[in-house]
Amino acid sequence: MQELTHYINGEHVKGTSGRFADVYNPATGEVQAKVPLASAAEMDIAVQAASAAQPAWAATNPQRRARVMMKFVALLNDNMDRLAEALSREHGKTLPDAAGDVQRGLEVVEYCVGAPELLKGDFTDSAGPGIDMYSMRQALGVCAGVTPFNFPAMIPMWMFAPAIACGNAFILKPSERDPSVPLMLAELMEQAGLPKGILQVVNGDKEAVDAIIAHDVIQSIGFVGSTPIAEYIYGRGCANGKRVQCFGGAKNHMIIMPDADLDQAADALIGAGYGAAGERCMAISVAVPVGKDTADKLIEKLIPRIESLKVGPYTAGSDADYGPVVTAAAKANILRLVETGVDQGAELVVDGRDFNLQGYEDGFFVGPHLFDHATKVMDIYTKEIFGPVLVCVRAETYEEALGLAMDHEYGNGTAIYTRDGDTARDFANRINIGMVGINVPIPVPLAYHTFGGWKKSAFGDLNQHGPDAFKFYTRTKTITSRWPSGIRQGGEFNFKAMD
């Protein structure tokens, strides 16, 4: 069986803690590798190596740092198929979806190529008699990120690319469920010209996370995962004087107005609700049709679409719409919540509980489910299911539908389907949710805008990627200078080339 490693100071390093976690193939249910779980001492070794390497990297001019990002983009494109296959093998998502995971991370790296422009400060000439004033953005030092299983390529790149482009060193603690791609990304970064020690990958569990929180050299922490852990890391990290941004759970509503194109809305719900087996923080998990006629017609259109979904292993390529969930425990939790939905009185219109894929009986596959007539007090509505389960909560009016989304404790993403511009504009202005789609089911912003939710979906005052990332991974220093007057003489007549 393959034994994975940490990646410290440019080398694959075996774990020394004696603790390991199993890495499964979700399609077969078989253990395909074991990953070491770092101790606090192992984390300290990585941090010390990062701390030693970071000052020279910060002193490297932004153009040269950007060139590393440019080369890294080329290597990502060259290795796209290899990365996607490794990602699918450990996560379970289809190959096209895995390639999309890599692509959305790559786009943030492309944005980071603009670091020379994004890191420019401000200058005021003659702020006073002979006084100039200017600001500069400087790297924090050593930063860290704790990333989830569901996007093992994209979210690490959302964190380490801007952090490194700003001149920081970065400690990545990926999910222990699918750690191979983060290790591959670290190798590719160094092939692109990144100095050893600037990007470290330390695998682990809570002990490694607590070591990050407690380490006085680490200046910032980024996290994506569940809300309880987001609250824990945010509270502990801030108490330890670190800059922290944490992104938690979601329960994303899509409101379908009576004037919407219902075929378009139904197609959108299929992709947004069941893609990646629902294991997305931006998945649409709640459909809110407005009016009985809208709801009846929508359900009528959804049922055949859902029943025709193809569930299969990543090796099926484009013949599978979605694959297994990541672990047996995840599958059990999804099916448990489905049972609570039935017990609490929701109508299970499409029942995937008996789904069984021939030849993959031990895999972690979950059939598609559709609930109708759910209410806001049911567990299937209040809790994040993180599986292929779409819940329909009917609303009589637009105001009732709006209130459902606004009153929910999570505020990551939402969408509305309508042909009416006034309704769409009102929705966008009033909704208390961070990312809004208008006839767009999964409103994930592109790399040059920022990604972030509201309410219990996000903790911290800056979002991921876009301009906020360069603010998060730097500190602003403001200088006020005055020089005594003197005699200037001599001169140079050549333009000195940049080093």
Out of 143, 166, 281, 392, which one is annotated catalytic? Answer: 281
Query: HEC states along the chain?
Result: CEECCEEECCEEECCCCCCEEEEEECCCCEEEEEEECCCHHHHHHHHHHHHHHHHHHHHCCHHHHHHHHHHHHHHHHHCHHHHHHHHHHHHCCCHHHHHHHHHHHHHHHHHHCCHHHHCCCCEEEEEECCEEEEEEEEECCEEEEECCCCCCCHHHHHHHHHHHHCCCEEEEECCCCCCHHHHHHHHHHHHCCCCCCCEEECCCCHHHHHHHHHCCCEEEEEEECCHHHHHHHHHHHHHCCCEEEEECCCCEEEEECCCCCHHHHHHHHHHHHHHHHHCCCCCEEEEEEECHHHHHHHHHHHHHHHHCCCECCHHHHHHCCECCCCCHHHHHHHHHHHHHHHHCCCEEEECCCCCCCCCCCCCCCCCCEEEECCCCCCHHHHCCCCCCEEEECCECCHHHHHHHHHHCCEECEEEEECCCHHHHHHHHHHCCCCEEEECCCCCCCCCCCCECCEECCEECCCCECCHHHHHHCEEEEEEEEECCCCCCCCCCCCCCCCC
281 is catalytic: yes
Residue whose C-alpha is closest to residue 150's, from 259, 249, 59: 249
Give the position of tokens 């909704």: 431
Q: Is residue 250 within 8 Å of residue 384, measured between CB atoms?
A: yes
Region for residue 345 given its phi and psi (left: phi exceeds 0; alpha: psi -120 to 50; beta: otherwise): left
Alpha carbon of 145 to those of 125, 192, 209, 244, 449: distances in Å? 39, 21, 9, 10, 20
| Count of CA atoms in the C-beta half-sphere (13 A) of 197 | 16
Q: Is residue 350 within 8 Å of residue 329, measured between CB atoms?
A: no
Please give the positions annotated as active site. 281
